[in-house]
Amino acid sequence: MMSFKKGNFRIGEAELKCKKANGCDYYGNPQWDGFCSKCYKDIQRHRRMNASPKKAPINKTSEKQDLKKVGSTEKKSKLSYLKMFNTIKSKDDISEKSKKDYDPLIAKKLDQLDVEYMPILSETKSLRTDLKKQIHNFCQMMMMSHLQSPVDIQSELTQHFYQNILDMLNNNYSYDELSQEKKEQILDYTEKYSMIKLYKFLFCMTLADEEEDLAIQKRIRQLNWVNAKHLDCDIDKTNAQIIELVYKAILELLDMDSATAPQDKLACVVRCCRHIFGVLQGGNNGMKGPASADDFLPVLIFVVLKANPVRLKSNLHYVTRFCNASRLMSGEAGYYFTNLCCAVSFIENINAELLSMNIEEFEQYMNGTLVSDTWDSALIICEGMHQMFEQLALLADLKRRNIIIVDDALKLKNEMSDFKDSFMDQFAVLKEVYTIIDDCDETNNKMAVSIDDYDPLCSSLPSWTMTPQVIQPAERTRTSSSCTDVDSWDIHSAETVSLHSLDTCFNTPQGNNEISGSSLEPTINVQPQLDEIQEISIQGWQIPSIPCETGGKEITNSKMNTQ
Amino acid sequence: MANRAVPQRPNGQTPGKICQFKLVLLGESSVGKSSLVLRFVKGQFHEYQESTIGAAFLTQTIHLNDVAVKFEIWDTAGQERYHSLAPMYYRGAQAAIVVYDITNQDTFERAKNWVKELQRQATPGIVIALAGNKLDLNTMRSVQTDESQTYAYENGLLFMETSAKTSANVTEIFKAIAEKLPKNETTNTAGQGRRLVESEGANKSLSSCCK
């Protein structure tokens, strides 16, 4: 195999061996330009280093031009081309492109798909990774080739890919356990996943498709006068239920354009056709027996005419090309799809004879000289009207929901103002309480000051003012009620203290007097005076403990006494 | 594992080989194409299948020895104006039943045209059966059995006179087709259409893969 490719390589001496001039003993590989893996790696590194200045500007130019540029400079330097091909095209270009093209909607759809098929995919160990790898490779290939190769080739490639996956499932030993249904589902998944991913590249890809779309659309517009009678359809215009079913069928057909995976498009066709059978059976009552194709096809043609779906031809082409061929040739979906194709083909070839009317009349209708009756006229504008009604319904729904939202918002507003009021009330109460506390604070402060005042007078007791800091932290909460420790006055203790402090409010003036009174003669007898304060006011209780906590002070006190 | 893979066949037949064939129904409208096929499908199941809201597309399986033959029956619109669309339907079909009304000579002439067209354009090797329907109206017959029999013989067709109403020869004609269809090799003549699912051992599923 390798020798056939000989002409492609510049150094063609050793056909199978590594192409490195120095004679590397290993075998080469065409994927690695005929080098062995090691030599190729080295050469790649070289190239990368040489070509790095060129790379930067190219990267900035637009991708498509980039590819062409790369193609044109190919012959000049194959080395740099290969380098660019490897680095830019396969990595940057595709990944950037794919990032750009995978809008969040597609990503979301793919995620949903993954979730939906998770139970089947996770059944066999290697299946998921195998499948992902295959799909990924296929998508990459299709993305790279979608500009160059004609549609037919792409379609062929796709069918080939489906066949490959089927072969993999059928022949690979590890998938023997899977039942046929599961294999079908896996195929389904493969098809859906890759087609959703590639939809942008594959749908309506040629100018010819677009022209056909416009042609058929114009044609159907011209034929808007064709009514059920012309087609020998058996539609009961007076039955609201049946008219509703006709509308439903039309809607399903219109929906086909918005589906991405071929199966989803087919599903739309199937739903549309089922509605048509509903029409033929006379609504839900089922007054008539199962309808045959003789009745079915005319109604389908009628529905297609009245729906005039956008991009009809593109959709049909897309499904024909990229849907698994076996799905189209058999099965219910295949049957209905064939019918749809037939209907479109009929519409394209419609003439006076086919509608069993004379040519003059047909021409008059086509010119617009003759017009059809009321319900048919209504259906003529059905295409627009129905959508308008749909949107009106949507708007009504939105309006309804908006009203609910406004109501809720008002309710919320009221609740908030209520809350605000109650909060303010509570706040007012709390404020009152705090004013009282503040008042107490102030009076306490005064007393504290008076104690402080007392200190400088007792110049012989330097440790007196430091008393609160010396007390152990555990004790502090207890001592917080003390007026001397203003800093530790906190909210936690405020409540318990407030009652006391109210008491003290009354007592403090006396206590104050006592202290201030005693402060006049500190040297005389400290101990009894402290006892006296303890008896009078609560905040005084801790004062006797001071000597206990600070033994040193007692000494100073006693020293003081001796003095 | 083996249990899980046991195919769920609606009629509980022992799993063997399943061959699926696409059969297309041709014939003038009002000759009773759909009645015929409804009788065939209904007769065996006594009820419509879930998806049977119309008689345009139906499936039915019959058993020949150990082979299950699944017919996928595609009805076509018989009106003359849709005649040109027929190739789209019979593309990839392995069998066709051309139906005519024994009380109406015109429908027999149309049937002859269908046969000619099929032999010219359809899948090579397609099995064609000619069915003279409305045998219950024997008294009003205008197409003689001999005439049709000779025509069928000359053109290598299967031929039976049937009655959807009395169900005479209905299952028989399908059985005859099933017998004539090649079941051994993968009938891939159409390139795409066929589906032939074979079981490759007891622990493999056999049910057909088409929905």
Q: Do B75 and A293 touch (CB under 8 A)?
A: yes
Of B4, B54, B85, the CB nearest to A291: B54
Q: Do A330 and B53 touch (CB under 8 A)?
A: no
Chain B residues with CB under 8 Å of A232 CB are: 79
- Nearest-CA distance from B65 to chain A in Å? 23
Give the residue-averaged pLDDT of A332-343: 92
A185-208 per-position pLDDT tens digit: 888 888 888 898 888 888 877 788
Lowest mean pLDDT among A378-392, A479-493, B75-89: A479-493
Chain position carrying tokens 């059985």: B175
Amino acid identity, residue A518? S
Whole-angstrom distance, CA of residue A43 vs CA of residue A32 = 10
Q: Do A335 and B209 touch (CB under 8 A)?
A: no
Chain B residues with CB under 8 Å of A327 CB are: 210
Res A486: pLDDT: 46
To probe the interface with B, which of A329, A348, A357 has the most B CB atoms within 10 Å? A329
Instruction: Say which DSSP state A224 is in.
Output: T
Q: What percent of chain B shows pLDDT beyond 90?
A: 41
Q: Do B207 and A180 touch (CB under 8 A)?
A: yes
Instruction: Say which DSSP state A26 is in.
Output: S
Which has more pLDDT, A321 or B200? Answer: A321
Res A285: pLDDT: 54
Res A167: pLDDT: 87
Q: Do A181 and B33 touch (CB under 8 A)?
A: no
Q: Is the ipTM of this complex over 0.85?
A: no
Say how many CB pairs under 8 Å bridge A and B. Answer: 131
pLDDT higher than 90, residue A437? no
pLDDT higher than 60, residue A315? yes
Res B161: pLDDT: 93
Q: In chain A, which residues touch B (CB < 8 A)? A: 176-177, 179-181, 183-184, 232, 274, 277-278, 280-281, 289-294, 296-298, 325-333, 335-336, 338-339, 341-342, 345-346, 349, 353-356
What secondary structure does DSSP assign to chain B, as a single string?
Answer: -TTTT----TT-PPP-EEEEEEEEEE--TTS-HHHHHHHHHHHHHSS--TT-SBSSEEEEEEEETTEEEEEEEEE---SGGGGGGHHHHHTT-SEEEEEEETT-HHHHHHHHHHHHHHHHHS-TT-EEEEEEE-GGGGGG--S-HHHHHHHHHHHT-EEEE-BTTTTBTHHHHHHHHHHHS--SS---TTSSS-EEE---STTS--S----
Which has more pLDDT, A245 or A234? Answer: A245
Res A200: pLDDT: 83
From residue A236, how far is each of A355, A471, B90 by CA, in Å?
A: 20, 100, 31
To probe the interface with B, which of A330, A344, A348 has the most B CB atoms within 10 Å? A330
Q: Do A290 and B38 touch (CB under 8 A)?
A: yes
Give the residue-averaged pLDDT of A212-225: 87
Chain B residues with CB under 8 Å of A278 CB are: 53
Chain B residues with CB under 8 Å of A332 CB are: 51, 57, 211
Residue A35 pairs with which residues in a beta bridge?
A29
pLDDT higher than 50, residue A426? yes
Lowest mean pLDDT among A147-151, A293-297, B98-102: A147-151
Q: Do A329 and B193 touch (CB under 8 A)?
A: yes
Whole-angstrom distance, CA of residue A431 vs CA of residue A429 = 5
The CATH code for residues B17-180 is 3.40.50.300
Lowest mean pLDDT among A5-19, A165-179, A536-550, B117-131: A536-550
Task: Using pLDDT thresholds of 50, 70 and 90, give the confidence band for residue B4.
Answer: very low
Chain A residues with CB under 8 Å of B74 CB are: 293, 335, 338
Of B54, B78, B88, the CB nearest to A277: B54
Task: Using pLDDT thresholds of 50, 70 and 90, give the confidence band for residue A166.
Answer: confident
Lowest mean pLDDT among A54-58, A149-153, A306-310, B37-41: A54-58
Q: Do A342 and B89 touch (CB under 8 A)?
A: yes
Give the residue-averaged pLDDT of B199-207: 34
Chain A residues with CB under 8 Å of B209 CB are: 180-181, 183-184, 326
Whole-angstrom distance, CA of residue A88 vs CA of residue A67 = 9
Residue A27 pairs with which residues in a beta bridge?
A17
Which has more pLDDT, A310 or A406? Answer: A406
Give the residue-averaged pLDDT of A140-157: 83
Query: Cα A348 to the chain's mean position, in Å?
Result: 43
What sign results for the dihedral spanned by CA atoms B146, B148, B152, B154?
A: positive
Q: What is the mean pLDDT of chain A?
A: 71
- Nearest-CA distance from B102 to chain A in Å? 19
Query: Cα A323 to the chain's mean position, in Å?
Result: 28
Q: Which residue of B has its CA nearest to A352?
A: B81
Whole-angstrom distance, CA of residue A84 vs CA of residue A16 = 26
Chain A residues with CB under 8 Å of B84 CB are: 345, 349
